[in-house]
Amino acid sequence: MAVTSIPVTSEMVLVMDNGIGASGQQLKKNRVYKYVKTAANSEDVFSVAQSLLDLQEKTNLSIQRNDSSELEEE
C-alpha cells in the first residue's frame, strides 16, 4: 500500500525568553506566524524569522516550523 503526503498548512513559531517565573522556571512566549507557504524552503523561512527577530525586544530561544500534511492512499 502506497501512501502520499500532501502538504496542507505551515506556520513559523518564534520562541522567546519571557523572564523567570515565581518558582524559578524559565518563562517562554511564542509568536506564531501562520500561512507560511508550504512550498517555502527552510532557509527562506529561517531568513524571514531572523529579520523579524531584529524587531523584537525579547531574546530568541528557538525558531520552529510546524508543517501539517494530509495522508492519502494511492
Residue 14: is it exposed, middle or buried by C-beta count within 10 angstroms (0-12/13-18/19+)?
A: buried
The string of pLDDT tens digits covering residues 38-56 is 999 999 999 999 999 999 9
pTM of the model: 0.85
Give 15's pLDDT tier (boundaries 50, 70, 90): very high
Give 1's pLDDT tier (boundaries 50, 70, 90): confident
Give percent above pLDDT 90 in the chain. 97
Can you give the residue range of the structural domain that contains 55? Answer: 3-73
Report residue 46: phi and psi, to 5°: -65, -40
CA distance 68 to 10: 6
Q: How many domains does the chain have?
A: 1
